[in-house]
Amino acid sequence: MADLERARGLLARARSVAVLTGAGISAESGIPSFRGAGGLWKNFRAEDLATPQAFARNPPLVWEWYAWRRELIANAAPNPAHYALVRIEAAKPQFTLITQNVDGLHDLAGSRQILKLHGDIWRLRCILCGTHWDDRRAPLPQVPPLCACGGLARPGVVWFGESLPEGIMQQAEHAAAAADVMLVVGTSALVYPAAGLIPYAKRAGATVMEFNLETTAFSAMADFSFQGPAGELLPRLLI
């Protein structure tokens, strides 16, 4: 594949690489998408549970859903696409992995320079004292979980209607603007502000390489648009 050969050469010469990943890379590890898993969960839409209002109304219900999701994720393992990104990070002076995923598979694979736009499902935050902590137990011993202060904990993820973690988009934009190559992996490019990083990088002069199962709104903008499983395509960039 001539395009893959050219992309491989450009990536090899790049000193600065930014990566944007979405649900597609996790789907290859068996994790259903946010809106997947059979659609409705106990007659609730995910969009109706992932809100501050839903948590305020019924914390046990929201936590029951997140506990179920955590158990699904706990059974998953990183796939070859995750490990390919670890190898790219190790080879580059500047590397930033920007992910919309909350599953922690990039961490498990060994990625280090990660910006988690939508938080981390394994991180908890007390709504009373504000303490943050990690808890990878699945199932959790208590649902809803409580903080040591006695306050109710919430998942450390960004819900609909909430702002992204302070300063994280500025860091992501800086990485995109500085990139020689930007890899876009397994994202539909429909969720903003994350999707806006793609034209941002392009305008700053980056070579944009997209890896997805199907075309997206930004495929025409990408310098390379590869269709297929990222777990098969990304390792071939490194051969």
Residue found under tokens 């988009």: 169
> Residue 129 is which amino acid?
C
CB contact at 8 A, 210 and 224: yes
> Residue 37 is which amino acid?
A
- Grouping H, G, I as helix, E, B as strand and the rest as coil, residue 110 is coil
CB contact at 8 A, 168 and 115: yes
| Cα–Cα distance measured from residue 180 to residue 175, given in angstroms and rounded to the nearest whole number | 10
Question: Catalytic: 106?
Answer: no
Residue found under tokens 């009373």: 128
Tell me how crowded residue 206 is: count the other CB atoms within 10 A of its CB. Answer: 24
Cα 157 to Cα 28, 63, 64, 185, distances in angstroms: 22, 12, 15, 21
The catalytic residue among 82, 118, 132, 174 is: 118
- Grouping H, G, I as helix, E, B as strand and the rest as coil, residue 194 is helix
In terms of DSSP H, where are the helices of the chain?
A: 2-13, 23-27, 46-49, 52-57, 59-74, 80-91, 105-109, 168-178, 197-203, 230-236
Residues annotated as catalytic are 118
